[in-house]
Amino acid sequence: MDPATYVRTAGVPLAQLRPFPGNAKRGNVGAILESLCRNGQYRSVVARETGGDLLTALAGNHTVQAIAAHGPGDCGMTVQVGDEERPCGLCSNAPWEPVVRCEVVQCSDDTARRINLVDNRAAELGDWDEQALAELIAPLHDDLGGTGYSEADVDDLVRAVTAAVEEDEPEDPYDDEHQDQAVAEPPPTPALAPAAPSSSAAPVPPGGAPPVFRDGTTSSGGTAQFSHERVPMVLHYETPDRDEAARLVTAAREVFPGEEAPTIVLRSLRTLVAVLDSRHAHDGVVTVSALLRAAGVER
């Protein structure tokens, strides 16, 4: 099977271009014309040379149709870009005869058919990274001219990205629903060691255990006895800080391979605090030695 052979790049008068016979794709000619008026013809049409004056469009048939829809002469359309008013990207608001920039090739009938099929099909294959697409569109703000996207499209995209983010977020075991369950079914109060009578002892609140001070003693002089050695703790950080914490945990595992998970997390959080504090320092710099000290490493 012979490949297509490049011949030249040329501005071909619209009258010398004919569509591919039996082209099955039905494109959005209006969106393409809007793009041409805003952005100009940034991509060439691929046209087959078969002898004579006529060329056949293999890829870019709808671009040819959009240029034909524009027609000759000054379309009178201008484009507002910020505070600047620009002329049409095709006719420049001046007398103009429709010309199509083409990459001219020579090929067999079989290759021409395959080029037309794959050019139409390839655009439909693959998938979108919706987060990347949203970030690509965001800087354009409300000016979507020439992108092929409408405000409704962007609204749908925002909803899709928001739903994906919420789906990826791990379930918080301490959200309102779980807290309601905890209130409805409270765990049994851990037993407390009996306290010796004391005139200075604070009274025990009715129906509850005495408060526990930082040294582990209670207001009644006893020592709190917990039913679990570990207490769950939930920390909430902004997304960049959360990612930084995850990187620090990974690094701590490498530096302290023999440590248990709670110690690893504690060292990582101490280091994260040092990093966050450095953002408020006058020079915004945190030294390696400061990070090591925060992690509890003696060097």
* Judgement on whether residues 113 and 147 belong to the same structural domain of the protein: no
Of 126, 154, 187, at which residue does a domain stop?
A: 126
Answer yes or no: is 57 within a domain.
yes
User: Which residues are paired to 46 by β-bridges?
Assistant: 59, 103
pLDDT score, position 123: 80
User: Which residues are paired to 85 by β-bridges?
Assistant: 80
pLDDT score, position 16: 97
pLDDT score, position 205: 47
Q: Is 25 exposed, middle or buried (0-12, 13-18, 19+ CB in 10 A)?
A: middle
pLDDT score, position 64: 97
Answer yes or no: is 157 within a domain.
yes
Nearest alpha-carbon partner for 60 in 92, 23, 6: 23
* Judgement on whether residues 97 and 29 belong to the same structural domain of the protein: yes
Domain of 159, in residue numbers: 127-169
Residues 6 or more apart in contact with residue 144 via CB below 8 angstroms: 137, 150, 151, 154
pLDDT score, position 177: 56
What is the rounded distance in angstroms from the CA atom of residue 113 to the CA atom of residue 107? Answer: 10
* Judgement on whether residues 150 and 243 belong to the same structural domain of the protein: no
Report the CATH number at residue 24: 3.90.1530.10
What is the total count of domains within the chain? 3
* Judgement on whether residues 10 and 121 belong to the same structural domain of the protein: yes
Bin 150: left if φ > 0, else alpha if -120 < ψ < 50, else beta.
Answer: beta
Answer yes or no: is 209 within a domain.
no
Answer yes or no: is 66 within a domain.
yes
pLDDT score, position 193: 47
Answer yes or no: is 73 within a domain.
yes
* Judgement on whether residues 80 and 139 belong to the same structural domain of the protein: no
Each residue's pLDDT tens digit, 225-240: 444 455 555 566 666 6
Kindly give the parts of the chain with pLDDT less than 50.
182, 192-193, 195-221, 223-228
* Judgement on whether residues 132 and 122 belong to the same structural domain of the protein: no
Each residue's pLDDT tens digit, 177-199: 555 554 555 555 555 445 444 44
